[in-house]
Amino acid sequence: MSESICNSIAEDSLRAMLSENQITLEVRAFLQTPSTNDECFTLAAAGAQQPVAVCADLQTRGRGRRGNRWDAKPGQSALLSLLLPGRDLSVETLSLAAGLAVADSVTLFTGRVPELKWPNDVLVDGRKLAGVLIETRANIKNPALTDYVIGVGINVLQKQHDFPPELADRAVALNMISNQSWDIPAVLVVLIKNLQQWCNPPAPIEKILPLWRSRCRMLGRHIRVSCAGHIIEGTVADIDPLEGLIVRDYLGMNHACLASQTTVLRDGPRTHE
């Protein structure tokens, strides 16, 4: 069984950097942990009532959506989870806000405006740079409320050969985009700042939606998804903050596909409608 290994030096450094940026937030740092999302839920179960950021050099059981693994070598990626305990939020809206927070962070470092692929991928030139995973559990003290965890992984220092062969032509890292090496703690601080601004609390939906739609590579594209056990094929008509991806089938019917129930099977070219 993999054990968490704390990194008190990194914690002190991050706290100082956050303070310099006028960000008041508790932070926990690990050299190694099974999952930063799980560490957040452990803190919530122990009674955390305020947001906490958890980061790690290495996750031994890092995960993406629907049980997929997030694999990265130690010290190559910005691995961060933000706990928002005891809230009543829309997971769909929070996911959109988190995507914009990550995208803004990438733009600050590289000058590039990433594409967003619903529900959780941040892409540059069609290649995955970062992913977002929102997870929830009932709040221990008040089961009517929910603990939300926003997990983010950003490829930072990888070179092409660091990615598995099956991902080599579909993944990219910050240093590959900008041709320079990045300091991961600095990336984490910017990411924390943007997550706080966009997600704590979530920005107004009238601010989120226009930006998300303008960066979403899926609108107007042919798509095939598995949603709640059903296969749906059609065109992406919209992104809805409560209902998720709106797919219009070939009979003209709209289907609301929640992120928690949906897997994208094929993302095709734009239609000419």
Of 47, 52, 55, 49, nearest in space to 6 by CA: 55
Rounded CA-CA distance 124/111 in Å is 11
Domains of the chain: 5-215 (3.30.930.10), 221-270 (2.30.30.100)
pLDDT for res 71 = 66
By the 10 Å C-beta count (0-12 exposed, 13-18 middle, 19+ buried), 20 is classed as exposed
pLDDT value of residue 273: 44
Q: What's the pLDDT score for residue 120?
A: 86
Pairwise CA distance, residues 60 & 86, whole Å? 28
Please give the distance of CA 124 from its chain centroid, rounded to a whole number. Answer: 15
What is the spatial distance between Cα 194 and Cα 183, in angstroms, rounded to a whole number? 17
- pLDDT less than 70: residues of the chain: 1-2, 63-71, 269-273
